[in-house]
C-alpha cells in the first residue's frame, strides 16, 4: 500500500519537475540575465560630452598592446585619439581619427614644405619619415585613421597588424573607452554674505560694539 502511494505521488510530481527544468536557459546555469549595459544612445552622449564626434571613434588591436585610458581624448576639432602601449617592449602606437581624405600627394606632403616617403599598401598608405612610420586608412564618410609609431620600437609588421584590425567599436569597447558620463555643469553657489548692490565684495563691516 505504501509503495502504491509513493508511486502515485511521484507520477503527479514528475510533470511539474520537468516543466521547471524546461524554464532554465541552456548553458547559463541561471535564468537571471544580469544587469543590462548602457545602450548606444547613452554611449554616444558620453563621447559627445568629450567634444568628440561619435562617428570618428575607431579602435584597433595589436598583440601585447593595451589602450592607455588616460590617452583617450579629442583630436583636432572633434576627432579622436588614443595610445596603445606594450608593457613588454615599451613600444607605443598612437591612433588618430579625423575628417579628411588621402591621396598620393597629401600622403607624401603631410604639411606645407614637408616631404615624406609614402607608398600604397593595399587599401592603406604607408608613410615614413623623421624616425617614425605610420599607416593611414581612408574610411567611409571622408574619415582618415592614422596609426603612428616609432620605427625603433614598433616594427612594420606589428603596425600593419594593428592597421588591419582597425574598426568601429562595439558597445562594450566604447563603454571601456568612456566608462562614465562627463560630470554635468553645476550652478554657481549662492553666497549669503554678498550684498545685493555694489561691486559684490563680501560685507566685512563691524557693528557699533566692534
d(CA 58, CA 120): 21
Q: Tell me what pLDDT residue 9 has.
A: 40
Contact indicator for 42, 150 with CB cutoff of 8 Å:
no
CATH of 40-177, one of 2.30.29, 1.10.1740, 1.20.1280, 3.40.1000: 3.40.1000
The domain locations on the chain are: 40-177
Q: Tell me what pLDDT residue 144 has.
A: 97
Length of the chain: 210
d(CA 46, CA 37): 14
Q: Tell me what pLDDT residue 129 has.
A: 93
C-alpha dihedral over 124, 142, 96, 78, to 10 degrees?
Answer: 180
Residue from 185, 187, 169 nearest 47 by CA = 169
Phi, psi angles (nearest 5°) of residue 161? -60, -40
Q: How far, rounded to the nearest angstrom, does the alpha carbon of residue 70 sit from its chain's CA centroid?
A: 11
Q: What tens-digit pLDDT sequence spans the chain (210 residues)?
A: 444 434 434 444 434 333 444 333 333 333 333 345 689 999 999 999 999 999 999 999 999 999 999 999 999 999 999 999 999 999 999 999 999 999 999 999 988 888 999 999 999 999 999 999 999 999 988 999 999 999 999 999 999 999 999 999 999 999 999 997 655 555 555 555 555 555 555 555 555 555
Q: Tell me what pLDDT residue 31 has.
A: 34
Amino acid at each position: 500500500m505504501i509503495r502504491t502511494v509513493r508511486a502515485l505521488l511521484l507520477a503527479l510530481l514528475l510533470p511539474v519537475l520537468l516543466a521547471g527544468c524546461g524554464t532554465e536557459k541552456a548553458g547559463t546555469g541561471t535564468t537571471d540575465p544580469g544587469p543590462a549595459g548602457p545602450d548606444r544612445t547613452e554611449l554616444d552622449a558620453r563621447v559627445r560630452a568629450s567634444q568628440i564626434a561619435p562617428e570618428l571613434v575607431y579602435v584597433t588591436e595589436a598583440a601585447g598592446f593595451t589602450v592607455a585610458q588616460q590617452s583617450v581624448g579629442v583630436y583636432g576639432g572633434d576627432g579622436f585619439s588614443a595610445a596603445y602601449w606594450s608593457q613588454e617592449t615599451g613600444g607605443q602606437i598612437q591612433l588618430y581619427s579625423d575628417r579628411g581624405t588621402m591621396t598620393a600627394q597629401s600622403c607624401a606632403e603631410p604639411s606645407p614644405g614637408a616631404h615624406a616617403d609614402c607608398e600604397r599598401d593595399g587599401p592603406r598608405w604607408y608613410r615614413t619619415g623623421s624616425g617614425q612610420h605610420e599607416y593611414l586608412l581612408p574610411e567611409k564618410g571622408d574619415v582618415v585613421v592614422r596609426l603612428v609609431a616609432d620605427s625603433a620600437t614598433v616594427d612594420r609588421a606589428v603596425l600593419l597588424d594593428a592597421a588591419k584590425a582597425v574598426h568601429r567599436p562595439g558597445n562594450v569597447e566604447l563603454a571601456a573607452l568612456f566608462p562614465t558620463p562627463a560630470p554635468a555643469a553645476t550652478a554657481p553657489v549662492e553666497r549669503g554674505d554678498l550684498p545685493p548692490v555694489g561691486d559684490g565684495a563680501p560685507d566685512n563691516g563691524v557693528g557699533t560694539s566692534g
